[in-house]
Structure 1
C-alpha cells in the first residue's frame, strides 16, 4: 500500500481490515489533512470493497499505475460527480440561412451540428449525429482519448451518462 503523506504526531486514519490508511494532518489541529489516499492498482484490487466504502462516505480515493504514477483514476461518490457534471452547460447555437432556407443547430462544445428545413428537423438531425458519434466514440475510445481535448471528453462523458436516452439528451443540450 502507498500512503500519501508520512505519519506525523497527529494523523487521521481510515481503518481498513488489515491496516490503516494514514493521512497527515496539521500538528495540534483536529482536522483531516488535504491528503487523498492513493493506491496502486494491485492494492486497490485487494481492498476494493473497503476503498469503495471510503468513497461512499465522501472521500476521494485515487488509484494509480505503478509503472506510471501520472496516470491516475479517481473513485468518488456518484452524486458528487453528478453535481460536478451539472456545471457543464451546453450552449447550442441556432442559425437560419434565408438564402437556402436551412436551419442549423450546432454544439461547439463537441463540434457537432444538425441541419434541416425546420428547426425541429435540424434538432432531430443533431440528436441523430450525437447518438451516432457517441457510439463511435465508445467503440474507438483508445483513439479519441488521445486526440480529443479534455474539455470535449468531459462533455461527451456527460452525454454518455444518459445511456442513449434521446429525450434526456435533448433536455441536457438545452433544446
Structure 2
C-alpha cells in the first residue's frame, strides 16, 4: 500500500473513530440523564413509602386507641344501666314513703281550694262524708244522650296499711 492508500484508510478510520466517539459521548450523556432521573424517582419513592408507613402506624395507633376508648364507654354505659335498673327495682325507703304520704295528704286537703279557684261547684250531696257508709257519688257521662248524671259508686277497697292506720286513729280518739 502506498502512501495515498494509507491516508485514505487512515482518514476513513479517523472518520469512523470520530463518529463512534461522538456517538459514545451522546450515549454517556443519555446514561447520566437516565441515572439522575432514576435517583430522583428513587428518592421520591422512598419519601412516599416513609409517609405511608408513618401514616399506617399512626392509623393503627389511632384505631387501637379508639377501640379502647369505645370499650371503656360501653362498660360505663352498662354500669350506669345496671345502677338505674337496680335503683328502679329497689324497695322504696321509709323516708320516700313518708314524703309520698305527706304529699297525698296535702293534695287531698288542697282539692276544695283548687275547685273553688277553678269555679267548680259540687252539689252538697256529691261530697263524701264520714257517714256515707262506704259509698261516694260519681259523675257519669252517657254517650247516647250526651248528658251527665250523678250516681253512687262503691269506694275502692282499702289496703291493709290504710285499714291499720284507721284502726289506730279510732282507738286514740
Give TM-score scaled by structure 1 length: 0.25
Larger Rg: 2
Give TM-score scaled by structure 2 length: 0.25
